[in-house]
């Protein structure tokens, strides 16, 4: 599922997500729990302001963000 992501560029210029949109809903990212690199993508495991966990995938060459995982709060 493609999502719209707003990022903050750190001191090395690497983008870190700070908020994303799912349809009409905007979710602020409270914390980045983990991040890792794959050959063609960057992944961010984040906790939203709704207390849910999400994994966002970024394809830097295409500039596309996607939601690949969602865990609702309490599970």
**Overall average pLDDT of the 34-38 stretch:** 95
Residue spans of the domains in the chain: they are 4-71
67 and 56 Cβ atoms separated by less than 8 Å: yes
Rounded to 10 degrees, the C-alpha dihedral 41/75/26/45 comes to: -20
Residue located via tokens 């994994």? 55
9 and 23 Cβ atoms separated by less than 8 Å: no
pLDDT averaged over every residue in the chain:
91
Residue 9, pLDDT above cutoff 70? yes
According to DSSP, residue 2 is labeled B
**Overall average pLDDT of the 8-29 stretch:** 87
What confidence tens digit (pLDDT) does each residue in 57-70 have?
A: 999 899 899 999 99
Residue 73 pLDDT grade (very low, low, confident, very high; cuts 50, 70, 90): confident
């Amino acid at each position: 599922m493609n999502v719209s992501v707003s990022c903050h560029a750190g001191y090395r210029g690497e983008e870190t997500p700070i908020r994303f949109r799912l349809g009409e809903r905007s979710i602020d990212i409270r914390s980045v729990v983990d991040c890792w690199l794959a050959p063609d993508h960057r992944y961010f495991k984040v906790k939203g302001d709704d207390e849910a966990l999400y994994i966002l995938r970024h394809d830097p060459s295409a500039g596309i963000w996607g939601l690949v995982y969602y865990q609702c709060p309490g599970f």
